[in-house]
Amino acid sequence: MTTLFCPALILAAPASGQGKTTITAALASMLRRQGKVVRVFKVGPDYLDPQILSQASAQPVEQLDLWMAGEAYCQNKMYEAAKVADIILVEGAMGIFDGQPSSADLAARFGIPIAIVMDVKGMAQTAAAIAMGLANYRDDFKTAGLIANNCGSERHAQLIKEALPDSLPLLGTLKRTPEISLPERHLGLVQAQEIREELETRLSAGADWVETSDLSKLLNKLEPVAFHQPDPKLLAVVPSVLTGKVIAVAKDDAFSFIYDANLRLLEELGASYQFFSPLHDEVIPKADALWLPGGYPELHVEALANNTSMLTSIRAFFANDKPVLAECGGFLYCLESLSNLEDQQYKMLGLMQGHGKMRTRGGCQGMQAAVLPEGDVRAHSHHRSVSIETPEPIAHGRRQRHPAPGEAIYRVGSLTASYLHLFFPSNPEAVGQLFLSATLDANLITNQNNK
């Protein structure tokens, strides 16, 4: 198989909230400013960080997860990126060793060095000790060094630098800079599409910082990583079962949790898709199937309820037995009502029984397989709401590492609904059947899959 070489770096951290996205975006913005092609990836099932990173790099951002997407898929994505990129950056997820597989597992599998990003506020030599512990916890990946975020002064940086061994250099420091920090809300960062102009200003400020730091020198010193073309036999077969079909896809400030990989798979299955806005449009476009992805309907619940023309249009679409897939926020939109963070209740589509209610704290998250009649599809859950008085589910998600039942999966007529966010490329055939006709007899599909 063919091998390509490209400089690459994973930015990982001891925990969430250390500044990985801010620094990765700043690096990508600086490289773009220099006229370089930088391809950025995000470890794990994340929708919000890739929006930021895509604007910073002016390139699509893919999710890499060895469990959700599979090793061959991840290998192929990086190989394809190496064809066009001057450098590849990968933002880790949570802590460097968190999850199975983790950011460290990805680094070890593909030979990509890790830069440790750490918020060093309130510590000096201890930051060096933690970084050394992370770098030496395993011996199957390389560590490029430490990036100290929230570093208070030059003296603070000097104390950390002196405590680090030569094998683990201080790559750069970032003082607390409100002009660069990215705004957050209850599920993570604010969506890029909501703050596009402000975000560009912050990205530019981040690029300025990188240009005056030692990090710019680091990027020039990165050694090329070998990216091998995977065996085509290991990649999922994509049948052209949706040829000529049109999928209507909700996309606006209320519904935006959409993997680019999912859209691309719909095209590979033979379908085309057309975006529409449940917030602003009057009717859905002419289509053969409907996808209501996750997002933030709770922040726009009054506007969704008041768009009665759209509600009527979607109800008529559903009444014609056309396939509808509703994920998380889309699932809440399909219920009879949804209460926002202020506990104000509004009528929703009513395609199925039940009511959604936001919670002020806590939530559900984790990797699961969606056990569908059409076949298992890898997925994840991440929400701060509950659903009540819903019908009996047809199945539950299968958790990655826990025997307890996962998220409920509902099939009401042609509607398939769940809190789960599906990763379509994990089972192209099942996804194709789902959008082709979700009303097929479940037992018939199960029997066919078992042949």
Active site residues: 328
Tally of helices (H runs) and strands (E runs) in the chain: 14, 26
What would the two tokens of residue 89 be? Answer: 């950056």
Tell me if residue 87 falls in helix, strand or coil.
strand
* Cα distances (angstroms) measured from residue 173 to each of 19, 122, 155, 248: 12, 15, 11, 46
Is 113:143 a contact under the CB 8 Å cutoff?
yes
Is the peptide bond prior to 101 cis by the omega test (within 30 degrees of 0)?
yes
The helix (H) or strand (E) run that includes residue 55 is: helix 48-57
CA atoms within 13 A on the CB side of 61: 27
Cα 40 from Cα 63, distance rounded (Å): 9
Cβ proximity of 132 and 164 under 8 Å: yes
Phi/psi at 375 (nearest 5 deg)? 140, 165
Query: What whole-number distance in Å separates Cα of residue 347 and Cα of residue 225?
Result: 53
φ/ψ of residue 269, rounded to 5 = -75, -10
**Whole-angstrom distance, CA of residue 206 vs CA of residue 51:** 16
Enter the tokens of residue 123.
Answer: 């510590």
**Which amino acid type is present at position 368?**
Q
H or E element at residue 263? helix 260-268
With residues binned 3-state (H G I as helix, E B as strand, rest as coil), the percentages for the chain, rounded to 5, are 35, 30, 40
Q: List the structure tokens of 449.
A: 């899959």
Q: Is 314 within 8 Å of 272 (Cβ atoms)?
A: no
Residue pair 31/58 in contact by the 8 Å Cβ criterion: no
The distance of Cα 178 from the centroid of its chain, to the nearest Å, equals 25
Half-sphere exposure of 312 (CA within 13 A, CB side): 6
State phi, psi for 7 to the nearest 5 degrees: -60, 140
Fill in the amino acid letter for 255.
F
